[in-house]
A = this chain, B = another copy of it.
């Protein structure tokens, strides 16, 4: 199931597990001269793997895919922003779009599992199984003391990044979000914007993930994220209750106005739409707005991104804003 489709999650919108892997005795992509050959080798190993895995995967040659296709995949969170540029890159994506295997990102292999809601264990188990299958035909760069070796030392060890995309509007409105970010950070947990490091938290969406990958087991990483997420969820819920008690009419007015704007605007930018969608998601979660549109809010949040809105047309920013408004009027 595509993570954003019919996604009715509350607070934790999606779970992502990423494993960084590299081939033994092969330079990392940034130092690699014959990327094409290595890309081909990994691709063959996966395609020819003896499991059901290969049948579930579809390969996209990013060199041939065109810029818009790359952007759409990034907007779906199926490839990382780093995969938007450069040659000799490809990605396997499962038919149900819950897993992707990026080839020649920063590392040779970046395996990702993404699911709706709060599913750290399920996602990790799935990733781990795929990792085992791949290892049957590939020899990973692994050091007994360090663990898996990666292009950037911050990923070495487990090579695991576990992350949750969290919708934290009340903590943002009540200005408690910076305290959350600082607390998490002091515990080795990063809180980032929608598309990862250095991006804005459009739509009040934050990604929380582990910063440390070495000297700690996979199970410990998952447990740590799980515990911090539990605390943040509680804080967000308390902030929502407080908002509701303190200024019910004002809150409900703000959220319904956002709904009205999405229902009738004729032109809207991505960032304004994300802010309004965040309001409507909050309102639905709090039971203030019972109306449900044709598509869930997380789905709208993905599908209003520039490349999705443009689709196969070549639209100016102004034209995209008009198309985006049209899409939202029909689907909210």
| A interface, CB within 8 angstroms of B | 249-250, 252-253, 256-257, 259-268, 318, 322, 325
- A249 and B266 contact, CB distance less than 8 A: yes
- B264 and A256 contact, CB distance less than 8 A: yes
Q: Which 6 pairs of residues, A with B, have the shortest CB-CB distance?
A: A260-B264, A260-B260, A253-B266, A253-B267, A256-B264, A252-B266
Total copies of the chain: 2
| Chain B residues with CB below 8 A from A261, complex form | 257, 260-261
Chain B residue at smallest Cβ distance from A289: B264
A266 to B266, CA, bound (A): 22
Out of B257, B265, B266, B325, which one reaches A265, CB within 8 Å?
Answer: B257
A51 to B236, CA, bound (A): 73
A253 to B325, CA, bound (A): 9
| Chain B residues with CB below 8 A from A265, complex form | 253, 256-257, 260
| Chain B residues with CB below 8 A from A267, complex form | 249-250, 253
| Chain B residues with CB below 8 A from A252, complex form | 266
Chain B residue at smallest Cβ distance from A325: B253
| Chain B residues with CB below 8 A from A253, complex form | 265-268, 325
| Chain B residues with CB below 8 A from A257, complex form | 260-261, 264-266
Chain B residue at smallest Cβ distance from A322: B249
| Chain B residues with CB below 8 A from A259, complex form | 264
A264 to B261, CA, bound (A): 9
Can you list 21 A-B pairs with a CB-CB distance of less than 8 A? A249-B266, A249-B267, A249-B318, A249-B322, A250-B267, A252-B266, A253-B265, A253-B267, A253-B268, A253-B325, A256-B265, A256-B266, A257-B261, A257-B264, A257-B265, A257-B266, A259-B264, A260-B260, A260-B264, A261-B261, A263-B263
